[in-house]
Amino acid sequence: MEKQELVKRYIETLISSPINLVGYDNFEEAYHFLYIDSTLPMKAEDLGQKFIDVGTGGGVPGVFLAIEFGASGFLIDSVCKKIEYVKNKCEELKIENLEFLCIRAEELKDKGPYREYFDSAVSRAVSKIATVLELTAPYVKVGGKILLYKGPGYTEELGQSVNAMKELGVKLSEVRKYTIKGKDRFLIVFEKFDKTPEKYPRKVGIPEKRPIR
């Protein structure tokens, strides 16, 4: 199946889903704010060969990145019915370069050899930057990237993340600004320059309640 046909079919499964996966029921809006938003600021070399999508929800951005760039994605979310739905639909569409797991990011470190395993991590609409860095950095290789999708309010979050970056072994690499249907969007790109201490991520809920300051 051609890429664009796959994208079309997948978007249709999202907007017609019996469970609330995305905030769109109009195809054109979903196409721009899900698919284009996921792929426009991204480069194939950002992802490497394998990436993790933390808090994937309806498979955004992970499914679209896997289709667009051919990288292998590992998509996790704590809501099992979402992961099951996305997994089943991807199997139906024969999108084969994806794996799925219903789990909290804080618990993944105890479930397999995932620490510093992935070339990159992506996350969209999950939490503030300091929290998401704690949930992603432990699983990215030294030299890999963490790529977070944000709106215009990212600057304050970034300012509050300075200590988290130092503690987790990551640094800001660049900010890519782009526009979707007149709305400013930003891809915040971090590079992992050092190993993340073993104590991270902390127990479930702590990164959200008490971000590293």
CB 130 within 8 A of CB 161: yes
103: which residues sit within 8 A by CB, 6+ positions away? 76, 78, 111
Token pair of 194 as six digits = 């050092």
Which residues does the annotation place in the binding site for S-adenosyl-L-methionine? 55, 105-106, 124
Strand order across the 118-124 sheet: 98-102, 72-77, 50-54, 118-124, 140-150, 183-192, 170-180
Which residues does the annotation place in the binding site? 55, 105-106, 124
150: which residues sit within 8 A by CB, 6+ positions away? 129, 157, 185, 186, 187, 188
